[in-house]
Structure 1
């Protein structure tokens, strides 16, 4: 039986370590992951593993009932747009740290799921790098080591982890170029909205009342309704303060939940909107970050970053049904 990679005992540097991990078979994948996962657990870190079933079974066999390993089914995590999934990763890490973990070893891989095309995985990798850049995380992104795969993975990562050894990537590319080459899908047509309401500063109070009523009619519950009101207020206030001064609010009830959308004629200029809280002195981005923390899904399209998809800026939040 091949030996697994030895655990790394050296403390990783502060902040995110984002590595691409090539593998040949699920058994080889589990072999090369056993070392870093074990090393992370020995240093008081948590481990979060999102891989295909064959690799998971091999890892469970190699690691035993190690405390601190959390396995998540890929279809459970990847049930939202990539930026929302990156936000979920960030919240999970922050929760682990709040519970006393010194950091997190996170393991993931692209899998065949509806709607998860190559652009999805590219945008997710870039968003993870931004959302968790200041967190104590070792993010290991596994990929099948096939022809051309190392160049593709190396474009998104600073390093490879090859059989336990860190190897610098010689293919790293600019994040903004990659985002433009991998645009998200345009906003889905949700049909006739419940309401269409232009909002100026003096109408914010009335807008909040309207959103609260729609949330109550959707059965969200008091706490979720207030989350929705605060999230929509942040989005619309952004449009008033930093956009045209009169954004438009639309709302829909859908099978996915209650949807609120803010549209404005002025394009936003944040490449990773809502993914990380800005510094206390920051003037932009706090409202979007707060909205992403409160809503189940936040998605942003701008004429700058999504040319041909929208005019100006479109921001949607979704509150899942109870």
Structure 2
């Protein structure tokens, strides 16, 4: 197999490619040469694959090729959040070390009800990892259970691996255009909330007080209470500034912490907000970025009723 592409040492930004496999043997036959080529360039090789695939790859390559297994997603309900988790891990590998090769594998158990998780994830990766020196190749089965998995894969990747060669993908589209045709799915419904607060712009203090009270009652430490209040305040402020004068907060206290949703009637113009850090010179646009940093999950979606943001935080 011949591996071509950007020469060693010149990957200043994300290079996002897709490959397809007809069988497990076919998959391993493509992963191993990519890992060997990266090792020859002196690049770390990161893996976001199943345990079985990792074990087979390590057995084939032997101890001379160092492989870094990334932590699996903590929540497959939000491709946006998973993309940020990948970014945090890859920043540790790229820090002072130059480019990193990342090999990723589709996992059907993360599909959700319709497979749209993968389309959202790849689109979010194109935003959240855009400035990282990462050569990422995502492998998908030629016949997945949900055909929309392939639709998203074809449109989200600027490069496609064909017979060991990276080629430009003529079907590639910008991530926000992809999600305009494949909207982000709403998360699973949670039932009747423990707290509902309607608010307008001058009532944000009531929002902060309500969240502080329920977080404290749920056993959050003082520092963690501050985190949750900060995150919800940023989301709520964004809702009344951009979504209309009236918004609503709903809160669920669960065994794993708090889930907070903010709903407004505005139109969602950016399906992937807050995935990149605003430039220090930008006075605004930090709210959702800050909220994503302090919470375990932040998921944004829209429907005919408006824009919705779910935040989840553990104690």
TM more than 0.5: yes
In structure 2, do the counterparts of structure 1 residues 32 and 189 end up closer, same or farther at CA, with 3 Å as the change threshold? closer
Aligned pair count? 311
- Partners of 1:228 and 1:294 within 8 A in 2: yes
In structure 2, do the counterparts of structure 1 residues 180 and 20 end up closer, same or farther at CA, with 3 Å as the change threshold? same
Q: How much has 1:201 moved relative to structure 2?
A: 4.2
In structure 2, do the counterparts of structure 1 residues 291 and 151 end up closer, same or farther at CA, with 3 Å as the change threshold? closer
- Partners of 1:16 and 1:134 within 8 A in 2: yes
In structure 2, do the counterparts of structure 1 residues 136 and 73 end up closer, same or farther at CA, with 3 Å as the change threshold? closer
- Partners of 2:87 and 2:129 within 8 A in 1: yes
CA distance in structure 1 between the aligned counterparts of 2:212 and 2:99, rounded to whole angstroms: 38
Q: How much has 1:318 moved relative to structure 2?
A: 0.4
CA distance in structure 2 between the aligned counterparts of 1:110 and 1:281, rounded to whole angstroms: 38
CA distance in structure 2 between the aligned counterparts of 1:246 and 1:261, rounded to whole angstroms: 14
Tell me, yes or no, if structure 1 residue 222 matches structure 2 residue 222: yes
Deviations 1:65-101, CA, capped at 9 Å, x for gaps:
4575222475x45533111111111222223334x43
Tell me, yes or no, if structure 1 residue 110 matches structure 2 residue 106: yes
Deviations 1:218-263, CA, capped at 9 Å, x for gaps:
2232332221111111111212333324432221113453111112
TM-score, normalised to structure 2, is 0.84
TM-score, normalised to structure 1, is 0.82
The corresponding residue for 1:21 is 19
The match for 1:140 among 137, 141, 145 is: 137
Tell me, yes or no, if structure 1 residue 287 matches structure 2 residue 250: no
Residues 82-91 or 205-214, more deviating? 205-214
- Partners of 1:7 and 1:39 within 8 A in 2: no
CA distance in structure 2 between the aligned counterparts of 1:231 and 1:15, rounded to whole angstroms: 29
Gaps of 5+ in 2: none
Residues 28-37 or 261-270, more deviating? 28-37
CA RMSD of aligned residues (A): 3.1
The corresponding residue for 1:48 is 46
CA distance in structure 1 between the aligned counterparts of 2:257 and 2:34, rounded to whole angstroms: 39
Tell me, yes or no, if structure 1 residue 119 matches structure 2 residue 116: yes
Residues 283-292 or 4-13, more deviating? 4-13
